[in-house]
Chains A and B, each alone.
Chain A
Amino acid sequence: MTAPALDVVGLVKSYGGRRVVDELSLQVRPGTVLALLGPNGAGKTTTVEVCQGFRSPEAGTVRVLGLSPRDPALRPRIGVMPQAGGAYPGLRCGEMLHLVAAYAAHPLDPDDLLERLGLQEVARTAYRRLSGGQQQRLSLALAVVGRPELVFLDEPTAGLDPQARHATWELVEALRADGVTTVLTTHLLDEAERLADNVVVVDHGRVVAAGTVQELTSRGSTGQLRFASTPGLDVDQLLTALPPGCAAKESPAGQYLVEGPHGAAIDPQVLATVTAWCATHDAMAADLRIESRSLEDVFLELTGRGLRP
């Protein structure tokens, strides 16, 4: 297996005696997208800032592209999009991007990047006069203009409109296709579901779950099958046809719910029985889906529903 692009082992960081990162470990394979999820104050940003070299770890080891986070040789190889700010208020949008491009040996064409992120109209507008969404997009452009191997994006789509969110997502997908590794912190579970190869859920400074989106959402699946059909079909007849231990009901009218045997997952047998039963009644089963949990369900199960400070 190739060396991880990012390797964090047993990271500890405290502020004022409180551990905000507590023995956290994670690995990111080169060319993949990792989503770091967690409630506010879970330790995501602190973890990422240690990886970026802004903070020193109290304990544990961090290797970024095989180097120490403080190694100057790392700087050209990574791109950083902080949560907010990070540009001269008095420079114009285009000037700021050209400036950071001038730090790189082989930068992307700044004007092309501005156009792709919908910033060409405001290229001559001072940074401080840009809208929040425009500042976010410029910040993303600043992170990638130097053609890095690894980019850290801290809540890249916070406050963006749907068009800008999709432009951001397309950029992350294009980065991934070109072999760039991405570490993404986000609150947006649909963003993680769409973009991430792997998800790490962090709470109270610890990893509470890690895996692919599919692994996380299928774990402990409750096994429900839902479909819509003609109201008033004979549910009792379906029950006798189903394997023992299954449950079936119609609620509300025309909406049917079947549960797997003794709460187990829906198997091909159950599915075949349901469609055959529909056929005997000359009814279509529409909108048929086998329920799996969303990443949001998993997230709330893992981190609780209590509001965070």
Chain B
Amino acid sequence: MTAWAPGALAPRPGAAPLPRMLAAQTVAELKLVLRNGEQVLISLVIPLGLLVVLITVPFIAVDGPRADFFVPGVLALAVMSTAFTGQAIGVGFERQYGVLKRLGATPLPRSVLLLAKTLAVLAVELLQVALLSAVGLALGWDPRGNVLAVAALVVLGTAAFSGLGLLLGGTMRGLTVLAAANLLWFVLLVLGGVVFPISAFGAAEPVLALLPTAALSSGLRDVLVDGVGLPLQSLVVLVVWAVLSLGAASRLFRWE
């Protein structure tokens, strides 16, 4: 090993321009998601497999064409998987490994860190929507409605689920987060109108409709199946979840 040249380590502090930090951090966050087997499983493999099985194997009866019912439900599941489950587990372990603490002592502002996480989530969601739509179309999906309404639902759903994911991942220990996030994922999958309509739960329906997953899945169905222009109830429910969860997360989130 050669010795250090005099002056090689002379201080020259300074923060990089914000766009450079944001780009580097977003690429890192994306790599972390796409390399993590569990996250790929829960964000891509399970939703795709579930979509194919639900459409092709008629063990759950639905009104109308099967693809038209299940594609919106699985899209809601995909958003929940990435924004909520994936983020909660990711953040939980990053805290446990002291990564967020170490980053707190670097020039990277926390706002840039959170923005990079959001951009990575949106990028994964784009991939999910593209793959699920392609599979759905191949299996006879016939979407209707306004693409802007779909985008609004997905963005608000992402905000609500990110808030919940950061709240869970930012307050509990890594393994607790892992267990809780997976359990909630499954509960919301069953109760959130993904695989059966929430009307199947009878008197519980008005309460279940307030779940973020149910709001997203029924909102997406209103638009994509019935061509509703503005699924007001779903949008309101998602806005309330987003405000409450992001507000609570920003108060309670612990970086270590």
Give A residues with C-beta under 8 Å from B.
52-54, 72, 75-80, 82, 84-91, 95, 98-100, 102-106, 108, 116, 118, 142, 144, 146-149, 167, 170-171, 174-175, 177-180
What's the least CB distance linking B19 to chain A, in Å? Answer: 11
- Residues of chain B with a CB closer than 8 A to A88's CB: 28, 32, 94, 97, 99
Task: Name the residue of chain B whose CB is nearest to the CB of A107.
Answer: B16
Contact B8 A85 (CB under 8 A): no
B interface list, Cβ under 8 A from A: 1-4, 6-17, 20-21, 23-25, 28, 31-32, 35-36, 93-94, 97-99, 101-102, 104-109, 256
Does B106 lie within 8 Å of A75, measured CB to CB?
A: yes
- Chain A binding surface SS class: loop
Q: Do the beta carbons of A91 and B32 come within 8 Å of each other? A: yes
A86 to B4 Cα, complex, angstroms: 26
Instruction: Give the residue name and chain of the A residue nearest to B15 (CB).
Output: A76
Residues of A with C-beta under 8 A to B108? 103
Which residue of A75, A148, A174 contacts B4 across the interface (Cβ within 8 Å)? Answer: A174
By a CB distance below 8 angstroms, the chain B residues around A175 are 9
- When distances are taken between beta carbons in the complex, the residues of chain B under 8 Å from A104 are 13-16, 107
What are the 5 tightest A-B residue pairs by CB atom distance, in nearest-first order? Answer: A105-B14, A86-B102, A85-B98, A174-B4, A102-B24
Is B12 in contact with A147, judged by CB distance below 8 angstroms?
yes
Residues A167 and B99 in contact in the complex (CB < 8 Å), given A80-B105, A178-B10, A178-B11:
no
| Assembly CA distance A102 to B19 (angstroms) | 10
* Complex-state Cα separation, A264 to B70, whole angstroms: 92
Known contacts A82-B98, A90-B31: A178-B105 contact under CB 8 Å: no
CB neighbours (8 Å) of B105 from chain A are 52-54, 75, 78-80
Contact among A87, A170, A178 with B99 in the assembled complex (CB-CB below 8 Å)? A87
Q: Say which residue of B4, B11, B94 sits within 8 Å of A179 (CB atoms).
A: B11
A54 touches B101 (CB 8 A): yes
A72 CA to B94 CA in the complex, in Å? 22
Neighbouring A residues of B4 by C-beta, 8 Å: 116, 170-171, 174, 177-178
By secondary structure, the B interface counts as loop
Contact partner, A90, options B6, B11, B32, B109, Cβ 8 Å: B32
For residue A98, which residues in chain B have a CB less than 8 angstroms away from its CB? Answer: 24
Chain B's nearest CB lies how many Å from the CB of A173? 8
Contact B9 A146, beta carbon cutoff 8 Å: no
Q: Assess whether A146 is in contact with B32, with CB atoms less than 8 Å apart.
A: no
What residues of A have a CB within 8 angstroms of the CB of B104 in the complex? 53-54
In the bound assembly, the distance between CA atoms of A178 and B9 in angstroms comes to 6
Instruction: Please state if A54 and B1 are interface contacts (CB–CB under 8 Å).
Output: no
Q: Is the CB of B98 within 8 A of A178?
A: no
- Whether the pair A142, B16 counts as a contact (CB closer than 8 A) is no
Q: Per a CB cutoff under 8 Å, which of B3, B13, B28 touches A95?
A: B28
Q: Which residue of A lies closest to B109 (CB)?
A: A72
In the assembled complex, which residues on chain A have CB atoms less than 8 Å from the CB atom of B106?
Answer: 75, 100, 103, 146
Q: Shortest beta-carbon distance, A299 to chain B, in Å?
A: 28
* Contact A177–B6 (Cβ < 8 Å): yes
Smallest beta-carbon distance B107→chain A, Å: 4
Given contacts A76-B107, A105-B16, contact A147 B101 (CB under 8 A): no
Give the residues in chain B near A100, CB-CB below 8 Å. 106
Q: Which residue of A lies closest to B21 (CB)?
A: A103
Q: Establish whether residues A99 and B14, one from each chain, have CB atoms under 8 Å apart when the complex forms.
A: no
Compute how far the CA of A87 lies from the CA of B10 in the bound complex, rounded to whole angstroms. 25
Q: Please give, as numbers and ranges, the residues of chain A lying within 8 Å of B3 by CB-CB distance.
A: 170, 174
Interface centre among A72, A75, A77, A103 (most CB of B within 10 A): A103
CB-CB < 8 A to A178: which residues of B?
Answer: 4, 6-11
Task: Tell which of A84, A85, A174 touches B9, judged by Cβ atoms closer than 8 Å.
Answer: A174
Q: How far is the CA of A146 from the CA of B13 in the complex (A)?
A: 6
A/B interface sample: 5 pairs, CB < 8 A: A82-B101, A90-B35, A102-B25, A147-B13, A178-B6
